[in-house]
Each structure stands twice: as C-alpha cells, then as structure tokens.
Amino acid sequence: MAGLYRNLAFMMHGSKHFGRQGYEAASKHFDDSVMQQRLDGRTCLVTGANQGLGRQLSEELAARGATLLMVCRDPTRGKAAVQAVQTKTGNKDVQLKVCDISDLSSVAALAAELKAGGVKLHLLVNNAGVMVHERQRTQDGLDVNFATNTLGCFVISLLLEPLLVAAAPSKVIFVSSGGMLTQKLDVDDMQNEHMRSYDGTVAYARDKRRQVAIAERLAELWANKGVGVYSMHPGWTLTEGVKKSIPSFYNFYKDKFRDPGQGTDTLVYLALQDPAKLQPGGFYLDRAPQAKHLTLGCTQYSAKEVDRLWSQL
C-alpha cells in the first residue's frame, strides 16, 4: 500500500512541477545574472555526453568557454557529437573520452588516463544512465541498471577525487530523477535479484535514490576539500531516451514535457553558481533545493543505512 501511495503522490506532484508548466512557473522567479558567467580555463567532464541531456549540457558548457571532456561509450557516435558541439559553439577545446560507465575496468582506465595527463577537474557531471527493462548483465556479471546508474557513477567520482581536489573549488553533480521519490534506499537487493519479475522502472528509481544518498555522503566527506557535491532532477524532459525507455509515459505526457534546454537549466545553474550559495548535498530542481521525500512517503533513511550502502559498493 505504501508503494501505491508513493506512486500516486509522485504523479500528482510531478504533473504540477516536473513538466513544462512547472518550469515556466518557476522561471518567473529566476535571476539569470549567474547564467551569464563564463567557464574559460575550467575543465568539465560530462558522462553520457553524446545525446539527450548530456549533449545539451555539453553545448551549454562549451558555449561558455569550458575545456570539455565528453565521455561517451560509442566512439563513432561520440566523435560525431564532439564535432557537432565544436561546430555549434565555436569551441575547439572539446575532447572525446571513450568509456563505458557500466564497465569498471573502462572507468579505471579513464581515470588513470586523466591522472597521467595532469588534468585538474573543475566539474564532474554524472549524467550517463540507462533504464533496461529485461535482466541484463555486464561482462563483470553485474545488473546493467545498477552497474551504470549506481556503481559506475560512484566509482568514477571516487577515482577522480584527486583531480577535483586539485582544482578546488570544484563540483560534482549527479543527474538523478524525481522517480527516486517513489523508492526507499535499497541496500539489500542492489542487483535486483529478488524482484518477482524484473521491473526496469523500479530498478532505475532505486538507483536514483542511491545517487541522492551518495551525493549527500560525498558532500560531507569532501566539505573540507573544496569539492561541492549535489544531485538534481531535470524534470520530465523530452529526450530519445525517454521515448525509448518509457514509451507509455511519453505517449501520455508528450505534450507536457520540458525541452532539453529547460531540462538542463538547473545543471547549468549548479555549474555556474557560487558554491557558498548552494546547499551541500542538496537535491535540486529549477535552481532550488527540493524535498527528498514525499510527505507520508516513509522513505527516510538513517546514516547507518548509508554506511551499509557505502560498505557494499
């Protein structure tokens, strides 16, 4: 019953705040002065950068002069995306880094390459994500949803910590989802092995809840190192990934979705805003920290539960 209530409450709340209507209402109160800032001389890394939100964000960062590292799994699509971003923005300091975030050896290789190159990283955006609806395993035998959405972004953040500290003040942003509001912090079935039938939507929402918890803990651990950590919800944004992964949801709400620019607005805001004006570990939507739990949703968790999550990742 609790799960049913959360799903209903989520849809009611989301229908008002997560779509285009919610963005337009919130944007009436935006102060756009921060959005005029530049990123010249700052190195930014975006995972899942060749399409959707990652591609849109890459264009926004490159247009502001950032040295941009676009992390993509497919080298052919990645190369095309890099060339397109360079052409559109006029910024030639945009580089392709090939890495499969679900593959820990690939993540480790990327981190080693960046360290060897002496990179100082000012911004890490953990955007890469999947929603697979049938049970699939990585070459390491891990559930694909978990490996990409939880473990991969956790590991790359830890491995790149020295680069972030070297560039301080720096930031890490996890592209989470409002769908996490429907789920508790699941630590006992992270591989989704005990589902009666595999549900990719639930697996994804569980991962996104874990991302919020990871961001909270990293914000605490890195507070004195000059690294700010945040999570955010892009709202219900129209992307090819949404069309493919949740077609029924897309068909029902397709006239109410945000466009990619509206979906990435908060990401750009977090990248540009003075860290002193941001909430460490905050979960953001439309440039403001949001509640991380639905009223009466019974999804709160303790520090000990986050400790358990940490010990099992």
8-state DSSP, 137: B
Distance between CA atoms of residues 311 and 219, nearest Å: 17
* 252-257: Cβ within 8 A, 24+ apart: 253/19, 256/15, 256/19, 256/20, 256/21, 257/19, 257/20
Tokens of 292: 């991380």
Residue 71: beta bridge partners? 47, 97
Distance between CA atoms of residues 30 and 288, nearest Å: 10
Give the whole-number percent of the chain exceeding pLDDT 70. 100
* 9-12: Cβ within 8 A, 24+ apart: 9/181, 9/294, 9/295, 9/296, 9/297, 10/178, 10/179, 10/181, 10/182, 10/294
Q: Which of 7-11, 26-30, 34-38, 122-126 has the lowest mean pLDDT?
A: 7-11
Specify the DSSP element, H or E, that contains 228: strand 227-232
8-state DSSP, 183: -
| Contact in structure between 14 and 257 (CB atoms under 8 Å) | no
Mind listing the pLDDT tens digit for each residue in 120-168? Answer: 999 999 999 999 999 999 999 999 999 999 999 999 999 999 999 999 9
Nearest to 128 by CA among 148, 98, 108, 104: 148
Tokens of 54: 């990652």
3-class SS of residue 254: coil
Distance between CA atoms of residues 253 and 204, nearest Å: 19
For domain 2-20+40-312, which CATH number applies: 3.90.950.20, 3.40.50.620, 3.60.110.10, 3.40.50.720?
A: 3.40.50.720
For the cut 70, the answer to whether the pLDDT of residue 24 exceeds it is yes
Mind listing the pLDDT tens digit for each residue in 180-212? Answer: 999 999 999 999 999 999 999 999 999 999 999
For the cut 90, the answer to whether the pLDDT of residue 250 exceeds it is no
The catalytic residue positions are 204
pLDDT bucket at 303, cuts 50 / 70 / 90: very high
Distance between CA atoms of residues 206 and 292, nearest Å: 13
Nearest to 138 by CA among 124, 126, 123, 155: 155
pLDDT in the model for residue 1:
64
Distance between CA atoms of residues 148 and 101, nearest Å: 6
Distance between CA atoms of residues 83 and 159, nearest Å: 28
Which backbone phi and psi does 157 adopt, to 5 degrees?
A: -65, -45
